[in-house]
Structure 1
Amino acid sequence: MLAGKYILLIIGGGVAAFKSLDLIRRLRERGATVTPVLTGAAQQFVTPLSASALAAQKVYLDLFDLTDEAEMGHIELSRVADLVVVAPATADLMGKMANGLADDLASTLLLATDKRVLVAPAMNVRMWQHPATQRNVAALRGDGILFVGPDDGHMACGEFGPGRMAEPLAIVAAVESALTDGPLKGRRIIVTSGPTHEPIDPVRYIANRSSGAQGTALARALSALGADVVFITGPADVAPPEGVQVEKVQTAAQMMAAVQAALPADAAVFAAAVADWHVANGSGSKIKKDGRGAIPALRLTENADILATVSQMTQGRPALVVGFAAETDDVIAHATAKRVRKGCDWIVANDVSPETGIMGGTENAVTVISADGAETWPRMAKDQVANRLAAKIAQALT
């Protein structure tokens, strides 16, 4: 898949730099040529000799190496690649990128390149969550920078949370997606998936039945067509697809915030089964039975409507907004009314009555409703539904 592709790999200074050595190997296995660039801090974690041996290429280190400037200047180095990959992308390096700073070879290459850039962030969880880092991430996304990760997990500092660099194979999948010359190349698409969990107390919650299988399949299909996919998922049964930017949430409020942070986008597809209500008087401790049969009174409050909010944006609205409608009766009538009420472009409707086996199953039978009418598709595997819907989205955006 990567045969003949030239990857400029910038290795930032962090403990995760050791993964970049495996990344070089994985990329070369798929036929790519990899030229490593090590920051000064990266050289404290991996040696230039190791990177050079695995890449079978010269490693670049210093902006002021006059011999290198004579053989291959930093401007040329930044532009001969098919893709620039930054792994690990530290908070410092992303801050330089977001603010146009260029005080070493890596940051100068990133400022001078005219090619797409894919970054794999890696840092302490508090650093990732810091408002300054999130401002920089938002700026980079607005500039069209592609992201893979970070993942949740244990870190070398002993803390747990988002900040781990994506695994090498996930980065390879993101590289392959970024270099795919599909009809959606250069398009940014948000896909929501899975259920949301609205807590009653620390051990109980309100949720909708959803495996997340259809949303996951759709994200995978859109990515295969070259789209830059932001996949925002609740606690689903199925694993998220590789090669896309994954944002994990629990509640409807968190999903709304993640969607707003992911904008602007060319299209947004809301496949998630978002809970309509949350518990306004939820308990911070487990609610106990009192032994007398008293039933706790739960006060429910409507969640914000993510589909309607995005559909009715007056500025920055995606060119295509697609909603999903899971119905149990009068499917077409209810879904048609929902499309008008929410203001979205399409509604993908399906019958999730228990006898259909669709909710949580491997197949789906949908009707795509637009201003032009209703288009009913035969029952098929969810992957097939995803491929057909992704092709229809590509046609609408091109």
Structure 2
Amino acid sequence: MNLKGKKILVGVSGSIAAYKAALLVRLLVKAEASVRVVMTDAAKEFITPLTLSVLSKNPVLSTFSDAQDGLWNNHVDLGLWADAIVIAPATAKTLSKCATGNCDDLLTAVYLSARCPIFFAPAMDVDMYHHPSTKNNIDTLESFGNSFILPDFGELASGLIGDGRLAEPEKIITKLSAHFARKPVAVTKKVLITAGPTVEPIDPVRYISNRSSGKMGYAIAEAFAASGASVTLVTGPTDLKITDATIKVVRVESASDMFAVTSDQFQQNDLVIFAAAVADYTPKFVADQKIKKQGHEMMLELEKTTDIAGTLGSTKKEGQLLIGFALETENELEYAMDKLQRKNLDYIVLNSLNDPGAGFAHDTNKITVIDKYKNIQHFDLKSKEEVALDILNIVLAKWSEA
């Protein structure tokens, strides 16, 4: 989550979906954002200002002045205060007013005064959403540089089924978080990441593999994509799902498959992270039919697979960064440093099976990062998502230096 300390202004307009604004505000506060709420008069027909005031821990505003105490609610100050404005729900009327500059309430005045990114989350009936006038207003607002969090498909208040349901608050939070995660230094970068195990077939039903879950590589892919980088993930077999639709996912099975895909794309990328647990050996002969059990012993002849990181590291281009992983059980630093040099890497991420909670299958990891100059950084046990952010920050710092 990248919302801690961010100032978010939530605009609420008059829709039955306004009740979801309560959960949105609650989630923003939980993410440690500072939240202000501006409502239209119509919105107050669906949810009370008191509810949103209690949840946001700030007064809720809807008029230019407070008749009780005579205070002026300065729309310019509100627009300049916010790091981002999200109008949720955004009705067809509100979209039209913002698109045409029809500034007749506090919310539209704040919108016109803002210099920060604006996010609209539309909510309306399906025919209203698809009407040419609404589509034209959305196109106009997008041409101004505003962003849209598209509505969901489902049953609407009218009883019709279609587009128009306000995006769930969790989806809005994800969109805002992704916005603040973007780093200018990362948006022009291309990143190639390998993840998961490989499987080496013995016969049509049996194979050799390892205990890698792919969780670390997937977390790294999500972190770099959120930063704005263009990410390709080459993954061995795993049940994991990618949540960021911008990540290009290429699924492979064996070490030779992974080498073929990775080597084909290697030169196109500014950063390559070898997080996959690639099999070191593969059966020399693969049976066409299932091998039947015979006798008390079976001899399986193996041959080395291609060392993907080592082979590609020898062709590293100038300015390209390579990061490898080392999972060790003894002489950890010695083996990791040797691997770092042999494979021509810029960094190696070491984790030890001797550390509880680290290594395969866990949701946590404890890493040590060593660079090619033998500088060492130790990190505490963290979730793999947090570890991915540590790795991201190391790379961002390196890119910023350049």
User: How would you bin the TM-score normalised by the shorter chain?
Assistant: 0.5 to 0.7
1:141-194 deviation line (CA, Å, top 9, x unaligned): xxxxxxxxxxxxxxxxxxxxxxxxxxx99xx98999699642411211111111
**In 2 relative to 1, CA 369–354 (structure 1 residues): closer, same or farther, beyond 3 Å?**
closer
Q: Out of 41, 56, 61, which is 2:134 matched to?
A: 56
User: Structure 1 CA distance, aligned partners of 2:391 and 2:265?
Assistant: 21
User: Structure 2 CA distance, aligned partners of 1:266 and 1:365?
Assistant: 26
Q: Out of 243, 263, 267, which is 2:271 matched to?
A: 267
Shift of 1:208: 1.8
Contact 2:225 2:244 in 1 (8 A): no
Does residue 382 (structure 1) correspond to residue 390 (structure 2)? The answer is: no
Does residue 236 (structure 1) correspond to residue 314 (structure 2)? The answer is: no
User: Structure 2 CA distance, aligned partners of 1:54 and 1:203?
Assistant: 56
Q: Which structure's CA Rg is the greater one? A: 2
Corresponding letter in the other structure for 1:273: A
Corresponding letter in the other structure for 2:360: M
Does residue 289 (structure 1) correspond to residue 367 (structure 2)? The answer is: no
CA RMSD of aligned residues (A): 3.9
Q: Hey, what does 1:313 align to over in structure 2?
A: 315
Comparing 222-231 and 320-329, the one that deviates more: 222-231
What pairs up with 1:95-174 in 2 under 5 angstroms? Answer: none
Which 5+ residue runs of structure 2 have no aligned equivalent?
4-8, 10-89, 92-117, 148-166
Contact 1:178 1:228 in 2 (8 A): no
User: Structure 1 CA distance, aligned partners of 2:254 and 2:133?
Assistant: 44
Shift of 1:310: 2.1
Contact 1:216 1:241 in 2 (8 A): no
Q: Secondary structure of the residue that 2:135 maps to in structure 1? A: coil
Shift of 1:246: 0.8
User: Structure 2 CA distance, aligned partners of 1:174 and 1:280?
Assistant: 48
User: Structure 1 CA distance, aligned partners of 2:312 and 2:328?
Assistant: 22
Which 5+ residue runs of structure 1 have no aligned equivalent?
4-27, 35-48, 60-71, 84-167
Query: How many percent of aligned residue pairs carry the same amino acid?
Result: 29
Q: Hey, what does 2:360 align to over in structure 1?
A: 359
User: Structure 1 CA distance, aligned partners of 2:121 and 2:382?
Assistant: 40
Q: Hey, what does 1:342 align to over in structure 2?
A: 343
**In 2 relative to 1, CA 181–199 (structure 1 residues): closer, same or farther, beyond 3 Å?**
same
Shift of 1:355: 5.7
Corresponding letter in the other structure for 2:284: A
Corresponding letter in the other structure for 1:305: D
**In 2 relative to 1, CA 370–54 (structure 1 residues): closer, same or farther, beyond 3 Å?**
farther
Q: Hey, what does 1:253 align to over in structure 2?
A: 256
Does residue 279 (structure 1) correspond to residue 283 (structure 2)? The answer is: yes
**In 2 relative to 1, CA 58–320 (structure 1 residues): closer, same or farther, beyond 3 Å?**
same
**In 2 relative to 1, CA 33–241 (structure 1 residues): closer, same or farther, beyond 3 Å?**
closer
Shift of 1:256: 1.3
1:170-226 deviation line (CA, Å, top 9, x unaligned): xx9899969964241121111111100011111111112111111111111111111
Q: TM-score, length-normalised on structure 2? A: 0.56
Contact 1:232 1:247 in 2 (8 A): yes
Contact 1:230 1:262 in 2 (8 A): no
Shift of 1:350: 0.6
What pairs up with 1:385-396 in 2 under 5 angstroms? Answer: 385-396=387-398
What pairs up with 1:171-182 in 2 under 5 angstroms? Answer: 181-182=182-183
Q: Secondary structure of the residue that 1:368 maps to in structure 2? A: strand
User: Structure 1 CA distance, aligned partners of 2:264 and 2:179?
Assistant: 21
